Amino acid sequence: MAPRGFPYDDLQSFLSALEAAGELRRVTVPVDPTLEISEVVTRTVRAGGPALLFERPTRGEMPVAINLFATEKRMAMALGVDSLDEIGDRIGALIKPELPVGWSGIREGIGKALQLKSLPPKKVKTAPSQEVVLKGDEVDLGLLPGLQVWPDDGGVFHNFGLTHTKHPETGKRNLGLYRLQQHSKNTLGMHWQIHKDSTAHHAVAERRGERLPVAVAIGCDPVVCYAASAPLPSDIDEYLFAGFLRGERVEMVDCLTVPLQVPAHAQVVLEGYLDPGERAPEGPFGDHTGFYTPVEPFPVLHIETMTMRKKPVYHSIITSKPPQEDHGLGKATERIFLPLLRMLIPDIVDYDMPAAGVFHNCVIVSIRKRYPKHAQKIMNAIWGAHLMSLTKLIVVVDEDCDVHDYAEVAFRAFGNVDYDRDLLLTQGPVDHLDHASYQQFWGGKAGIDATRKLPSEGYSRGWPEAMAMSSEVVALVDKRWKEYGI
């Protein structure tokens, strides 16, 4: 059952729903966006605390909304469901059973789901996001209470700006979530990584010797915020996906100075361009890996126009080693994309991306094992599956193992493995932010086969039977439990 007020028109509507559910606290005293907000939020996240609205940041001219997605409960509220699995179940019901297995099947599956529930964006002529317009010298990023999260960060960063670009040749839109370092009152560093679609758009523009128009929307409704982070195939429009999740079309408005559209109900919109060939040092930045990423050259966004609501709310997120707010976003992706991963690899029963592995360093997978080296086949299939290819460690267990019970998974991985035979080592692409790989962008990977071993795999000893109490004794003890006085 969708929460009251869903789909939310804007960020304010979502904040009101959170507050009504006891999931939001207002901080009414002055708090510094340089480091202090970060420490407050980090303590709140680790205590399982609420979303926060800092009403009086000491820098910038608008309140700061943060920690909106840290728990599965708030993430489910954001997407209008009681459980994140509901969305995956909806997608699974729409796309099976006749679609082909494989990556083409995933593309067709998402496309079919969106076609059956087609809710494309709706263009409007006027928008709350354009109630205030600043152009040229009026543009001032200092109006925004951007955060410095960690002491050695390279300055102020805007961590939840939804970045819009178009492919210069095909016109295909991309919506992505990238960190933005504030260089000056009207320039930002664009930290989009090598595997991202907007990076490809920029590469084409540079090859053609053209500027790339860019629009950044800050403070969108929660479904659009999630869609920007979702690992969709490049030919699937994020706003069509958002409409599917919302059950209602997303209202979009034309930008004033660039040929792009942005959410009409955003809080702040930054319009500008990237010059071909221009780079500036970006970073360091304390990232979700728990380590500072180094200074690297990245494109520079020149902002020509800044539009906003009359009373905007600034939305941001804290990055640090887990647990942190991105847990809810990562868990939503895990649950929503399970039926799509099963299309690619039908033998998968379930999977878990542990927060401690920052959602791409480790994947735990359960399978219905049917033949020799089945687990190794699954490992290689995952390493060939879109952004799952960045996974560094894959642990494969049998279908009777709960992949979300880390103690049980560890028991299987520690006890069911002969590391001379059941460990697969290989090399492949790793995340741009990975600091452990000896070369940037690629490194070593491991797969652990923690399944029961078959005679046909060379295991000739006869796999032992796991211990379990008889059901009769269990029922007897249940019945007599109070008698024992324990």
Beta strand ranges found along 18-112 (DSSP E): 24-27, 51-54, 64-66
The whole-model pTM stands at 0.91
**Alpha carbon distance 9, 264 (integer Å):** 10
Catalytic residue among 10, 221, 287, 352: 287
CB contact burial 236-267 (16+ within 10 A = b; e otherwise): ebbbbbbbbbbebbbbbbebebbebbbbbbbb
Q: Which two tokens stand for residue 31?
A: 């708090």
Q: Report the 10 Å Cβ neighbour count for 91.
A: 24
CA 314 to centroid of chain Cα atoms: 19
In sequence order, the β-bridge partners of residue 302 are 187, 273
Interval 249-271 mean pLDDT: 98
Beta-carbon contacts of 378 under 8 Å, excluding residues fewer than 6 positions away, are 345, 347, 348, 365, 367, 394, 396
Whether residue 124 has pLDDT greater than 90: yes
Which secondary-structure segment (H or E) carries 442?
Answer: strand 442-449
- Reading the block at residue 145, the tokens are 């209470």
Identify the pLDDT of residue 288.
Answer: 87
Q: If you average pLDDT over residues 381-405, what whole number do you get?
A: 93
- What pLDDT does residue 485 have? 95
> Which pLDDT belongs to residue 106?
58
Confidence tier at 187 by pLDDT (50, 70, 90): very high
Is 221 tagged catalytic? no
Q: How far is CA 45 from CA 158, 324, 445, in A?
A: 19, 6, 31
Tell me the average pLDDT across 330-354: 92
388-399: burial string, b at 16+ Cβ within 10 Å, e else: bebbbebbbbbe
d(CA 270, CA 134): 10
